[in-house]
Chain A
């Protein structure tokens, strides 16, 4: 994905390649708008229901996980990875095309030290809030309105990272 001409005029190009592209950029060539975007709302809704019904949005379940007192969360994450892995391998092996007829593209993850430092920081927050970013949204939907403060803080944390990014080790 090339940075749009507008952004390269306004900002000096930076050394880090993701500066003008986000972490998992939309690689679809077909443009989507309006109704065709609704399918993501539906997938998200299904996903949110699973989150609540499997109780993975529960602060208590996250505590069980970090105290090694229950297999539940390990089972959820482990089987999700297994199914995801199998699907990605099948898609690659049989070159399964998207609904729009495009070849499936997945951006590789490049290693940088942020995955360790940032990962540790996120882990600390995960145990405090009992939520990773997905469950934050589901918790709010479930009626835990105070979590809106957590979400706003998470957006603020993301913004602070963007602000201090050039000064942090990567």
Chain B
């Protein structure tokens, strides 16, 4: 097996997790930066539409490292997908596949279900729920919580901050509620 074939396989958690964790000391040591991604959304607001709101009135240019960091994530997504892609379909747990099939999802070929995330869904009710509503909840919720999975679950817990543990548990409870309580209603709505 060549090196390229080797890294094209999906990376197991014990390789990816530590690499993600290493981002914490790398950012701290290359420039005293605390790992956090949802802040970038705030900097975009501060840069584009501060509207004289105190929450967006700060020197966002001082935080431009964060905008470069997320631009890098986008670029990394492109590189990994176009040059290091795994030719095989994603190996999904059979129980999850069955549960999603029962909800009405049929296409399991990519990273995202095409029925919900193809460009053609953008102007439909499905697009409104999964893209627009989902995005609003992510943006509003992370800012109210003061961070997301990276700022709270990884950076905050790494620094032994108990408020970050509260936030992380709340993230998980919200996700469980959406999956187990709201999904059955939402999917009945979109696949009557």
A-to-B contact residues, CB < 8 Å: 3-4, 7, 10-12, 14, 18-30, 32, 36-67, 69-85, 87-88, 90-91, 96, 98-100, 102, 104-112, 114-134, 136-147, 149-163, 165, 168
Contact = CB atoms under 8 A, between A and B. Distances in A.
B17 A11 contact: no
B138 A136 contact: yes
Contacts of A79: 13-14, 17-18, 21
Given A79-B14, A122-B171, A125-B138, A98 B30 contact: yes
Report the interface size class on chain B. Answer: 35 or more
B70 A44 contact: yes
Tell me the interface secondary structure of chain B in the complex.
Answer: helix
Contacts of B122: 146, 149
A156 B142 contact: no
Interface of B: 7, 10-46, 49, 51-60, 62-66, 68-81, 84, 86, 90, 92-93, 95-96, 99-100, 108, 111-113, 116-119, 121-122, 127, 129-164, 166-180, 182-183
Contact of A162 (B56, B142, B152): B56
A162 B175 contact: no
Given A44-B70, A88-B158, 15 more contacts: A24-B33, A26-B66, A52-B81, A54-B10, A75-B17, A109-B147, A115-B166, A124-B182, A127-B174, A127-B175, A127-B178, A129-B130, A142-B80, A146-B127, A150-B131
